[in-house]
Amino acid sequence: MKIGATLADVDPMQIDCSVRFDGVGGLSDHISALKEMVVFPLLYPEVFERFKIQPPRGCLFYGPPGTGKTLVARALANECSQGERRIAFFMRKGADCLSKWAGESERQLRLLFDQAYQMRPSIIFFDEIDGLAPVRSSEQDQIHSSIVSTLLALMDGLDSRGEIVVIGATNRLDSIDPALRRPGRFDREFLFSLPNQEARKEIFKIHTRDWTPKPLDMFLEELAEKCVGYCGADIKSLCAEAALCALRRRYPQIYKSSEKLQIDVASIRITAKDFAMAMQKTVPASQRAVASPGRALSSVSKPLLENTLARILQALQRVFPHAEFALQKDQQPDSVNHVLRNDTVDSDEESPSIFEEKPTHKMPSREKEKFLSFSRNAYYQPTSCRPRFLLVGEPGYGQASHLAPAVIHALEKFPVYALDLPVLFVTATSPEETCAQLMREAQRTAPSIIYIPHIHLWWEAVGATLKATFTTLLHNIPAFAPVLLLATSDVCHADLPTETDGSIYFRQ
């Protein structure tokens, strides 16, 4: 410990004790999963002992920047450190662990794990782990692969009592060494996607909860609706900017004077206008990185296309019944996910025992029973068979520019994977690889949407290999997996190249 303490960057991080799970908005699924894997093994070791469950040693957080990965890790450390129990929280940036001296980075890593072990229970959090453990390749220098091997060895060496949990965060899952994602290492993966409308509202609530007076619920609802593509960090800065706008409006003189002026804080009132101003100034993360294809109808196009959009959404619900749940406004986000994701019924109701029990005379001998056929499920679950939806209109009717983005906006709860030409061709990887990655991701995060705008141009522009890759992957998605293929076309259904229709089968 002494050696560790002398190294400035091996000290356990000073935890910001104010962050708790209630300060994290819209990530309740992740929070309960993390509780299960990190907090419960520490609180209820007897349950884990009884069923011989080995708590996972590591998990990966991935998703766009500013979506709360660091925040959740901090909150987790604080939640675990209640009362007497303290959990040491070590936080490292991937690239900080690298050193120019051969062997030094490995030594630092070993020290870190040593110290975490001595101060157990502890959480080691590697932010931007892709800097530390990038995909190993032949061209990459020896040093990197040696660091990755050290990390793997250290993680394999952790004992299985769940006393040390390693969390890695990255913006891109495909940029870290696949060996790290094997069971026993970072075997749980959490996607931190951009928040949807409900999540945004919750985050707004969190960042304005200490304001007096508090903003109206209705107002926050409207804000959340408008702020498509904002991540948690954007929402936080939007709230701060709105407060500054109000200050600027009330006391413009403080910008001119270099002395501290006497101001009356109570007289600064934040209005809707301040938020509108702040929104003009903030560029949401999604537009800085990749533009999100979802957009609500603008005030100009709304009167024209509103009815068409409503008809489209109605038709879509028939093809893709999952949409129905997403479109119900009054549903809690959790309950929606619950209905959509859970395959089994969660109640504790009577079901046949699955254990060997001593037979009693009264019990008739058991016939061969089926245990896992919960026949109710298929009935209660929305079901769709290869959902595909094509928006067709003459050029300039707004199908790709207004309607499809509005449909995606309405179905914001589902992750969207745009397979348009810029996405496929303006990347370092080959278009086939990008296509495969996106489609696999779509399948993994189902219910989800694969979006191809202007499919008539798309089909002409892409090469034969990409076409083959695309159709094979599309066929490989199980028939009943809720992955919606949404496309737009300027050419009517009958005139689309027969291959497009033949291999993708859009229904009219």
Estimate the crossing angle of helix 197-208 against helix 217-226, to 10 degrees.
130
**Closest approach of ligand ATP to the CB of residue 64, in Å:** 7
251 CB neighbour count, 10 Å cutoff? 15
**Closest approach of ligand ATP to the CB of residue 89, in Å:** 14
Does 286 bind ligand ATP (CB under 6 A)? Our answer is: no
Q: Distance (Å, rounded) from C-alpha 81 to C-alpha 274?
A: 39
Token readout for 363 is 């019990």
Closest CA to 423 of 409, 445, 411, 439: 439
Does 206 bind ligand ATP (CB under 6 A)? Our answer is: yes
Per-residue x/- track, 107-146, ligand ATP (CB under 6 A): --------------------x-------------------
Does 94 bind ligand ATP (CB under 6 A)? Our answer is: no
- Return the amino acid letter for 242: A
Shortest-Cβ-distance residue relative to ligand ATP = 232
Q: Distance (Å, rounded) from C-alpha 22 to C-alpha 322?
A: 29
Does 24 bind ligand ATP (CB under 6 A)? Our answer is: yes
Does 67 bind ligand ATP (CB under 6 A)? Our answer is: yes
By CB under 6 A, what part of segment 235-254 binds ligand ATP? 236
**Closest approach of ligand ATP to the CB of residue 230, in Å:** 10
SS3 content of the chain, % helix, strand, coil (to 5): 50, 10, 40
The nearer residue to ligand ATP, 31 or 474, going by C-beta atoms, is 31
CB 130 within 8 A of CB 172: yes
Does 77 bind ligand ATP (CB under 6 A)? Our answer is: no
Piece in contact with ligand ATP (CB under 6 A), picked from 67-75, 78-86, 130-138, 361-369? 67-75
Piece in contact with ligand ATP (CB under 6 A), picked from 117-125, 232-240, 348-356, 494-502? 232-240
The nearer residue to ligand ATP, 237 or 471, going by C-beta atoms, is 237
Does 233 bind ligand ATP (CB under 6 A)? Our answer is: yes
170-173 CB contacts, 8 Å cutoff, 24+ apart: 170/60, 170/61, 170/62, 170/128, 170/129, 170/130, 171/62, 171/63, 171/64, 171/65, 171/128, 171/130, 172/62, 172/130, 173/60, 173/62
**Closest approach of ligand ATP to the CB of residue 128, in Å:** 7
Token readout for 283 is 């560029």
Token readout for 109 is 């890593």
By CB under 6 A, what part of segment 156-175 binds ligand ATP? 169, 171
Does 66 bind ligand ATP (CB under 6 A)? Our answer is: yes
The nearer residue to ligand ATP, 195 or 405, going by C-beta atoms, is 195
Closest CA to 288 of 194, 163, 211: 194
Token readout for 164 is 């040390």
Binding stretches for ligand ATP (CB under 6 A):
24-27, 65-71, 127, 169, 171, 192, 203, 206, 232-233, 236
